[in-house]
Chain A
Amino acid sequence: MMTLEEAQARFDQDWERYKNVAEDTATIIRQAAAERHLTCIVEPRAKAVSSFVKKAITKQYLDPWAEITDKAGVRVIVPHSGRLDDARDLVLESFEVIQKEDSREDEELGNRLEYPRLHMQVYAPSSSVEDGPDRLDCEVQIRSEAADLWARMSHTLLYKPITQAPRPIKRSLYRLLAIVELFDEEVARAVEAIEKSPEYEPDVLLAEAERIYYTFAWSNYSRDLSRLICPILAGVIGSNIADFTARLPEFSDTHQAHLRKVYRQYGASSEFASHGKYILAGQPESIVIFELFECQRHALRQAWEEADLPDSLLDDLADVWGVDA
């Protein structure tokens, strides 16, 4: 057991190490999130020494060193409550977890206004503790964007206020939590419904293709044609749309010189476009087709024929890319 004075001295001495632990933990979470296509904000921090001391005094800890577990902390903020489990699983699979606190299913929360806690205490990644004999740990908090909005407000005005708010004001602030919870659940419900719609995956594909396309081209394109073709391409890609869209930037980086020339020579601003030649070279989905030319030519051709699209559209693009498709 350490006294507060001893704990303060040790934390002051080890503060840099805890900062590294938080940053390394965040790096691992960011990498794992990217691999799983989980959109999230990851914020690492080492607790300020002054906050450490204040917390120890306020909470009247007998062993502040052991009882203050967020010396290193990482906050993972997901877009809505429907992604909390994904983030939790990510942490469980990426770290050795010391302790897990998930109050979402707590019976007591049924009749209380309080945002559920999803915290995990994890051992630091090995790279962070090479310069010390002991095994440092890090607290990972997971919350939705709406919960984060609430938490930041409540932290300032309710949890650690400079001046205590009068009771009616406190009550009005707590009432906001109901709106936050409602907002979060409605967003999660809407996202789930949108993701189940048949247009969702083709639209995701088009959005990513368009983002890359505009790094090479500067002309508008036919959205009607894209809406016709992208569902076919999504069908060829199958259930791996997220993986495919994630690797599309890499494909674009590898072939950026070719893509730049192709879009300049054959794209929507070229002489050919006015003659109706190489039409797909003026469409963002062309980059998806170029990628499919690499390894899924048969599947693409079959889907194209089944959709009864003109062969010449695909043949022209195959000639541009120099493949026998």
Chain B
Amino acid sequence: MSPTFVGLEIGETIVHGIPQAAVRDRDVAALQLSDVTTDLPDDVLGILQTRLRGVLASDARQIVEDPNTRSPVPTLTRELLIGATGDFVATSQKLAVALQASQTGRSPAGVLLVARATYDCTPVVLMVKLEREDGMRIEFVFDNGRKKFDVTYLSNLLFTGKGTVYKIGILFLDPGDTAALVGWAADKQEPGKKVSKFFREKFLGCHYLEEPKELTRRFQDQGYAWINEKVEDPEKKARYSIGLLAELQSQQKAISLRNFAFTHLEPSDRDSFENYMRNQGLPSATFEKSTELISTRLKKVRLALESGVIVIAPSNAADGGVMSISHMAQDLVRITITDRLVKTSPDGTSGRPPKGTISEEGHDDG
């Protein structure tokens, strides 16, 4: 995935009103459908583009068309992408109908902005669900020759700030397989940086290109690969390994390369980590965390030393003060374990079950 969305350029645009409605009340007549496109002045277009680029940069997840979808959106999108034949207004109206049909009863009222756009010269279709907001305007005025500020309440505002609620879908024909649609989806509303299921699956007719559980596993694998390849200081190696484990075990519902680097790594290592991970195909944007595939790996941390000594410790051992790691001269590290000895066994394989069975300690999802 490109690390920048500066290539997103918005062209022909239209906006339709989407009412809030219970599932049983989905009346197409309630939609506020535009009959003509919306002219966007340069400043509006400029703001719109930067707001969308910013959200996509921080939250966009790659999506791919679900071949079994019942959503009409992929077909409508193709009409807009391929179609000189496609009637932009009529097709966008059908997209609004599709959004209304896919929304849950809890979905608030808003507008659907549909645009033909380009991403680095590739034609794309942009669909943004926005909620109307309110706000205030302040103006410095002269009133009977005296200066003052006037404050006015405004409703029906869009993009009032960073916290604005909206969902974005971008779809285009896969350059490697023009029969398939691919793209990005972002959802500023959902906690944990998910893209709400109704928007992603029911409306866009897509699923994630890479599921959160796969991404989370790759985050762990590549994170350890970076530590082992790029970090020379043994004390830092151990500290970062524990940080990686802590990140995956935390109650946070999302993973962000940037936040991980900021929280667990020293400043001089942050860019190296993020660049490495991006080069390995991990998304720059925040993604939903799912430890389903690595749950057994998260219970213990393993430190392998040059002498052949292997320390396997519960992942919270460092936090609880049982184990501490400090950097000695040259490349040496001192691992101190302060605890009560409860059992010894002849060698490191003690307690390992016969081949073919799985123990809590030995199992690795590899």
Contact = CB atoms under 8 A, between A and B. Distances in A.
Contact of A320 (B42, B45, B53, B56): B53
B271 A321 contact: no
A258 B120 CA distance: 9
B54 A298 contact: no
B271 A324 contact: no
A298 B274 contact: yes
Contact of A324 (B8, B50, B258, B261): B258
Interface string B42-54: 1101100111011
Interface string B34-68: 00000000110110011101101110000000000
B218 interface: no
A289 to B, nearest CB: 12
Contacts of B57: 318-319, 322-324
Interface string A238-263: 00000000000000000100100110
A230 B5 CA distance: 25
Contacts of B53: 319-322
Nearest to B49: A265
B271 A322 contact: no
B122 interface: no
B285 A324 contact: yes
A297 B271 contact: yes
Which of B9, B57, B58 has the largest number of chain A CB atoms within 10 A?
B57
B262 A265 contact: no
A207 B50 CA distance: 28
Given A258-B7, A324-B58, A319 B50 contact: yes
Contacts of A316: 50
Contacts of B4: 293-294, 321-323
Given A321-B4, A324-B57, A266 B46 contact: yes
Interface string A289-301: 0000111111100
Nearest to A265: B46
B267 interface: yes
Given A271-B42, A271-B46, A324-B58, A298 B267 contact: yes
A46 to B, nearest CB: 48
Q: Which of A293, A318, A321, A323 has the most B CB atoms < 10 Å from its CB?
A: A323
A298 B46 contact: no
A299 B267 contact: yes
A272 interface: yes
B7 A322 contact: yes
Contacts of A154: none
A270 interface: yes
Contacts of B49: 265
B258 A297 contact: yes
A302 interface: yes
Contacts of A265: 42, 45-46, 49
B9 A261 contact: yes
Nearest to B121: A257
Contacts of B3: 294, 323
> Which has the most chain A C-beta neighbours within 10 Å: B56, B262, B271, B284?
B271
Interface string A261-281: 110011000111000001000
B278 to A, nearest CB: 9
Interface in B1-43: 3-9, 42-43
A322 B5 CA distance: 4
Given A316-B50, A322-B53, A299 B270 contact: yes
Nearest to B262: A298
Interface string B250-262: 0000000010011
A209 to B, nearest CB: 18
B104 interface: no
A261 B43 CA distance: 13
A262 B6 contact: yes
B115 to A, nearest CB: 16
A270 B3 CA distance: 26
Contacts of A261: 9
Contact of B43 (A271, A296, A321, A322): A271
B275 interface: yes
A320 B271 contact: no
B20 to A, nearest CB: 30
A21 to B, nearest CB: 43
A272 B43 contact: yes
A298 B261 contact: yes
B23 to A, nearest CB: 36
B54 A319 contact: yes
Contacts of B45: 265
Nearest to A261: B9
Nearest to B9: A261
B6 A302 contact: no
A82 B280 CA distance: 45
A150 to B, nearest CB: 49
Contacts of A258: 6-7
Contact of A295 (B5, B46, B51, B271): B271
A322 B46 contact: no
In the complex, which of the residues A278, A297, A316 has the most CB atoms of chain B within 10 Å of its own CB atom? A297
B50 A320 contact: yes
Nearest to A275: B43
Interface in A9-34: none
Interface string A128-144: 00000000000000000
A295 B275 contact: yes
Nearest to B270: A298
Interface string A55-72: 000000000000000000
20 contacts: A258-B6, A262-B6, A265-B46, A278-B50, A294-B3, A295-B271, A297-B258, A298-B270, A298-B271, A298-B274, A299-B271, A319-B50, A319-B53, A319-B54, A319-B57, A320-B53, A322-B54, A322-B56, A323-B3, A323-B57
Given A272-B43, A322-B6, 5 more contacts: A265-B45, A270-B42, A299-B270, A316-B50, A319-B51
Interface of A: 255, 258, 261-262, 265-266, 270-272, 278, 293-299, 302, 315-316, 318-324
Listed from nearest, the 4 A-B pairs whose CB atoms lie closest are A322-B5, A322-B53, A298-B270, A319-B54
